Structure 1
Amino acid sequence: MDFRNYSTITEFILLGLSANPHIQAALFVLFLGFYLLTIMGNLLLLLVIRADFHLHTPMYFFLSHLSFVDICFSSVTVPKMLENLLSQKKTISVEGCLTQVFFVFVAAGTEACLLSVMAYDRYAAICHPLLYGQIMSKQLYMQLVWGSWGLGFLDAFINIFLAMKMVFCKAQIIPHYSCEMPSLLSLSCSDISRNLIALLC
């Protein structure tokens, strides 16, 4: 075991996509445009599904949740990336980084579960069209959606709980535009075997 004294790291440096100021300005405009289009497109989809009574079916219910998850996913990393593209100090606190990782896990886990649920919904609709109404009852599709959210949060809680126990003592540079669990694991000087198992699971 290594008993050296480590200075506690309180923030990380996000290297981003480029160090060239001209490229950073162009990337800011580009990613801001993509981000706004993503938010507006998904909000429009949510409004249309909510407004049109004919779209109140399991498929569109799942799609509306997928749109909401997409808004959340984009909003977890892109605003900080846009801020860093315009600022000289490209840092994020350890707590802010772990928060970002937590919400990435929530959004990614929920999205993966929702896509699986949507695949099951289409399977039921195509392979059992006459029984579809009985198979995909309102109670079932509500349970599937909230189960997806629950699994996303559970995944995030387990991984972040283990990440909060890590000690960061190596170089505080993250060679990306956002915090990711693999980057944090490589910066840790503590035992990360449990983190790797949880990440793999």
Structure 2
Amino acid sequence: MDDFEERLPLYFLNNRMEFPPVEAANEDGLLAVGGDLSMERLLLAYKNGIFPWFNDDSLILWWSPDPRMVLFPNKVKISKSMRKVLRDNPFELTQNTCFEKVMEHCGMVERSGQDGTWITPEMKSAYANLHKAGWAKSYEVWENGELVGGLYGVDLGHVFCGESMFSLRPNASKFAFIKMAQELERKGYGLIDCQVHTDHLESLGAELIPRKKFMGILRSKD
């Protein structure tokens, strides 16, 4: 068996609403293939530490990496320059006023090492349904009435599963992220799930923790 075959997941999903245990994921975090993006399956996934991530020309891929990139809200890093931005307050922050526009902008962001976008029309439709049901939320950043930044994710009530962010002005997405972290800290959220490592998230205070610790916090409200 070659390296590629060894990296394939063992689980191919069918119509049954179930996932394998996250410990079955391969070394890259890939857990399962197939299934659908119905609201029921997506909520089952997020509540069990699993998220979809795939290109528009592939099957649906489900992931649960170990270690997991997270941000504890009380550990958000605010640089000296961002403290000045927050103090000057050049932006207006809103929530859930234009969820689909935020997704659209996130899908247009060019990301290092990625061809195209994983925010496919199918993903947009699925998360719009989650939003209408109150599970998916967006934070929008405005400057002089223009949408210039934002982020969106799935809100489980004690853990916010961040999905993507965008910025059309310097510091706009950082502004949204920091404001969100401060709000979630006040509300007593356990963590913000950032999924996988990026330098940008690390600069904001996100860190890698063992998946077992992440799952313990995720299931603390069960």
Same fold (TM over 0.5): no
Report which of the two has the higher share of helix. Answer: 1
**Which structure is higher in RCO with an 8 Å CA cutoff and minimum separation 6?**
1
Q: Indicate the structure (1 or 2) with the bigger Cα radius of gyration.
A: 1
Task: Give the TM-score of the pair, scaled to structure 1.
Answer: 0.22
Task: Give the TM-score of the pair, scaled to structure 2.
Answer: 0.20
